[in-house]
């Protein structure tokens, strides 16, 4: 029996990784990250001397400097990732074919358990690395995207054990509403 079957979190992340990705995925303000960097003196051993000195000496009010820091922090954070789960917001959209992000996500998240029937678009899955449960919906109308909702372990267990699905994405209109947020910002592939 592996850690996922026992309910343990095999790829449990550190607080540092969780904080870093909260910022990178847009769930944490720039000022909050700046304050965290200044207040945690153990970060020099995590980031390394060069990156840490860059972070503590940066002008966090200069948007160009912040954009450069985001690139460096994402490169640093990606080296520490075992799966893509941490990079997604609690409610997120993954486009099919625009980037390799969906491929990276589904390389560890699955197998998908499809709802079927009248709600053919709805599925549940679990990451084999970190144990995160996901509710998903596949939209083929709005730029071919996956709408995803992070689930608690209890919610994931209720789907698998009792067939009790959360209400999110139970209507295709809701799927299109979530996917539409992506469609408004999507850039077409180059011909």
Mind listing the pLDDT tens digit for each residue in 79-133? 999 999 999 999 998 888 767 888 999 999 987 788 988 888 899 999 999 999 9
Task: Tell me how far CA of residue 65 lies from CA of 22, 36, 57, 58, 78, in angstroms.
Answer: 19, 18, 11, 7, 20
Task: Give the sign of the dihedral formed by CA 3, CA 11, CA 175, CA 138.
Answer: negative
pTM over 0.75: yes
Neighbours of 93 (CB within 10 A): 23
Q: What does R_g of the chain's alpha carbons equal in angstroms?
A: 19
Element (H, E) at 5: helix 3-6
Distance CA 54, CA 165 (A): 46
Residue (of 94, 89, 92) closest to 27 by Cα position: 89
Mind listing the pLDDT tens digit for each residue in 12-60? 468 899 999 999 999 999 999 999 999 998 899 999 999 999 999 999 9
Q: Which residues are 99's β-sheet partners?
A: none
Distance CA 25, CA 110 (A): 22
Neighbours of 122 (CB within 10 A): 26
Distance CA 190, CA 98 (A): 10
CA contacts within 13 A on the Cβ side of 175? 24
Q: Are 86 and 14 in contact (CB under 8 A)?
A: no
Residue 182 banded pLDDT, cuts 50, 70, 90: low
């Amino acid at each position: 029996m592996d850690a996922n079957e026992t309910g343990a979190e095999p790829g449990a992340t550190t607080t540092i990784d969780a904080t870093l990705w909260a910022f990178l995925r847009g769930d944490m303000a720039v000022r909050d990250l700046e304050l965290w960097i200044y207040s945690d003196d153990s970060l020099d051993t995590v980031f390394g001397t060069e990156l840490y000195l860059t972070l503590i000496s940066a002008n966090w009010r200069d948007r160009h400097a912040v954009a450069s820091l985001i690139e460096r922090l994402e490169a640093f954070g990606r080296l520490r990732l075992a799966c893509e789960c941490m990079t997604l917001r609690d409610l997120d959209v993954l486009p099919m074919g625009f980037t390799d992000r969906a491929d990276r996500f589904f390389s560890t998240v699955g197998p998908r358990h499809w709802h079927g029937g009248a709600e053919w678009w709805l599925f549940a899955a679990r990451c084999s690395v970190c144990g995160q449960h996901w509710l998903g919906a596949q939209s083929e109308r709005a730029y071919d995207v996956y709408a995803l909702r992070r689930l608690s372990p209890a919610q994931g267990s209720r789907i698998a054990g009792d067939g009790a699905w959360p209400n999110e994405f139970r209507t295709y209109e809701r799927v299109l509403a979530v996917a539409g947020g992506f469609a408004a910002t999507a850039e077409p592939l180059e011909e």
